[in-house]
Amino acid sequence: MQTQTLPPISEMQRAYRQSDSSYDGIFILAVRTTGIFCKPSCQARKPEPKNVEYYASPREAIFAGYRPCKRCRPLQPNGTPPEWVAKLLATIDNDPTVRLTDADVRAMEIDPARARRYFLKNYGMTFQAYCRGRRLGKSLEQIRLGEDLDDVALGFGYNSHSGFRDAFVKTFGTPPGKSRDTECIVAAWIESPLGPLIAGANSRGICFLEFTDRRMLEAQVTTLRRHFKCAIVPGSNKHIQQLNDELHEYFEGNRRKFSIQLIYPGSPFQQQVWNELLKIPYGMTTSYEDIAKRIGSPNAVRAVGTANGMNRIAIVIPCHRVVNKNGELGGYGGGLRRKEALLSLERGEKSFDFASESLGSAQKVAGAAEASSN
């Protein structure tokens, strides 16, 4: 995962003055004179450049003291990449072997620098790295199916065995000739009413599900690599496809229990906690203290809270169902406004608005909690 950098100020000024929606998700503009922050595509009156500050995410703007615009609702995720990003993704999905150069991207009327920034922010890699990961992930799949190495190397755009071998070893840590049994984690973007998620799975099941803007996302990915000792590449498999279907049913209120296969390595204590989380019934909550008692460690309430926060499979392993002993929400890696929304959904409330005023108090608590922990 790499650090996101903002576009040049002149570029951001042009984008918000033109209400360019293709920059939504790239940066947030905050207006000093009103105390409000907006998406670049906001149709409100354009502020003078001297009164504008720029942030990489809504969270940063909130911590700087700004509140969300009620017109463009910058906290309301649409769960859908901009049209120009969807065009790039569709091109790669249609043919993972394609090798798109910057010239090819420009021919699609897309700025390569903009693509690089967007993919860094939302996928943790450049667009070229995304393409390379898709090619190599597909090549591993073909090798496992018994395809000849010559056919795989040439079919995925490599002019020589040495070039293919070097790229393969760099990604998977093993030469292609010894990779028949090599495991990797494929990662995919899943849309949801509460914002986009990143899902990860290997051949055995789902091992990762997190909201893309989670503060500890990078640390969780690092832990994932350490446990599985393999590469994480863009792609999909049957487990991710099943997860996508089950999450859709869950958010529609038509699924109370997930049946997807899960893989969640951790310390024995962590696994005890996560196993207890899976036993919490839909629509119910329990406390950290109760979890500690159930696993036979009544004095380990704080450790239970830490293990709960280290859960790498959000929603499916329902850490959002654990609250403080006094009934208050407590913490949640995806933000307290999401935790409140998930619990509202499971209580049978017909609908919820992620950015509504009804969640305003939760947003303030979440901001204070995150700010105090930074």
Q: 313 with 275: CB under 8 angstroms?
A: no
Instruction: Read off the amino acid at residue 82.
Output: P
Separation between Cα atoms, residue 132 and residue 134, nearest integer Å? 5
- Residue 185's DSSP bridge partners are 232
Predicted local confidence at residue 358, as pLDDT: 29
Decide if 337 contacts 354 (C-beta within 8 A). Answer: yes
Identify the bridge partners of residue 38 per DSSP, sorted by sequence position.
29
Hey, which residues are catalytic here? 319
For residue 246, which amino acid is it? Answer: E
Q: For the chain, how are helix, strand and coil distributed in percent, rounded to 5? A: 45, 10, 45
Contact 190/199 with Cβ under 8 angstroms? yes
Query: If you average pLDDT over residues 209-236, what whole number do you get?
Result: 77
Can you tell me the mean pLDDT for 209-233?
Answer: 77
Contact partners, residue 133, CB within 8 Å, separation at least 6: 125, 171, 233, 234, 235
Cα(183)–Cα(230) distance, rounded to whole angstroms?
7
pLDDT band at 93 (very low <50, low <70, confident <90, very high): confident
Closest listed residue to residue 313, CA positions, set 368, 353, 258, 365: 258
Q: How confident is the model over 228-245, as a mean pLDDT?
A: 85
Q: Which of 39-43, 120-124, 273-277 has the highest mean pLDDT?
A: 273-277
Supply the pLDDT for residue 219: 74
259 — pLDDT class (breaks 50, 70, 90): very high
> How confident is the model over 354-369, as pLDDT tens digits?
333 323 322 332 333 3
pLDDT for residue 356: 36
Average pLDDT score over residue span 37-41: 90
Q: What is the pTM of this model?
A: 0.58
175 neighbors 166 (Cβ within 8 angstroms): no
Say how many residues make up the chain: 374
Domains delineated in the chain: 9-68 (3.40.10.10), 83-178 (1.10.10.60)
Beta-strand (E) ranges in 47-184? 52-55, 67-68
C-alpha span between 260 and 193 (Å, rounded): 20
Strands (DSSP E) contained in 223-367 are: 232-234, 286-287, 322-323
CA 70 to CA 201: how far, in whole Å?
38
> For residue 353, what pLDDT is reported?
44
Cα–Cα distance measured from residue 213 to residue 197, given in angstroms and rounded to the nearest whole number? 8
Give the integer Cα–Cα distance in Å for 210 and 222.
13
pLDDT band at 250, cuts 50/70/90? very high
Burial grade of 227 (CB within 10 A; 0-12, 13-18, 19 or more): middle
In angstroms, the CA 309 to CA 31 distance is: 34
Burial status of residue 269 (CB atoms within 10 A of its CB: 0-12, 13-18, 19 or more): middle
Q: What is the 3-state secondary structure (H, E, C) of 266-301?
A: CCHHHHHHHHHHCCCCCCCCEEHHHHHHHCCCCCCH
Mean predicted confidence (pLDDT) in 197-213: 89
Average predicted confidence (pLDDT) for the chain: 78
Q: Per-residue pLDDT for 217 more than 90?
A: no
Distance CA 309, CA 333 (A): 6
